[in-house]
């Protein structure tokens, strides 16, 4: 199981609670738009850090239900992947895909 240091935990909380707060749908039509907004707001180092932390979460031995609870309880996430017909792991993988650098 992956352990997060406090700084990483706070970084994830800032992303999930800040960008996916209870009002995220007021400004965005999809979770993908929220991730794209994050990418406009932070430097490349922040994008790479978030990608690495989410990959770390995906490599953990947690199941979807446990990860769903963690996103809500520990990170304050206001997005429910099940509402988009996704598992938590599928949703996190989609975030990783958006955050991944594109070859030009």
Complete DSSP assignment for 37-55:
HHHHHS-HHHHHHHHHHHH
pLDDT for 5 equals 77
- Whether residue 36 is contained in a domain is answered as yes
- Whether residue 104 is contained in a domain is answered as no
- Whether residue 54 is contained in a domain is answered as yes
pLDDT digits (tens, 9 = 90+) for 76-88: 999 989 888 999 9
SS percent in the chain: helix, strand, coil, step 5: 65, 0, 35
pLDDT digits (tens, 9 = 90+) for 21-70: 989 989 999 999 999 999 999 999 999 999 999 999 999 878 888 998 88
In the chain, the number of structural domains is: 1
Secondary element (H or E) of residue 81: none
pLDDT for 73 equals 92
pLDDT for 25 equals 87
Of 75, 62, 55, the closest CA to residue 9 belongs to 75
- Whether residue 43 is contained in a domain is answered as yes
**Structural domain of residue 51, as residue ranges?**
8-99
- Whether residue 3 is contained in a domain is answered as no
Q: Is the pLDDT of residue 3 over 70?
A: no
């Amino acid at each position: 199981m992956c352990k997060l240091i406090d700084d990483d935990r706070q970084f994830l909380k800032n992303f999930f609670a800040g960008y996916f707060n209870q009002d995220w749908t007021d400004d965005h039509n999809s979770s993908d738009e929220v991730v794209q907004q994050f990418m406009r707001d932070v430097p490349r180092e922040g994008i790479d850090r978030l990608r690495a932390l989410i990959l770390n979460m995906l490599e953990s031995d947690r199941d979807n239900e446990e990860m769903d609870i963690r996103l809500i309880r520990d990170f304050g996430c206001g997005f429910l992947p099940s509402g988009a017909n996704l598992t938590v792991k599928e949703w996190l993988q989609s975030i990783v895909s958006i955050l991944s650098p594109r070859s030009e």
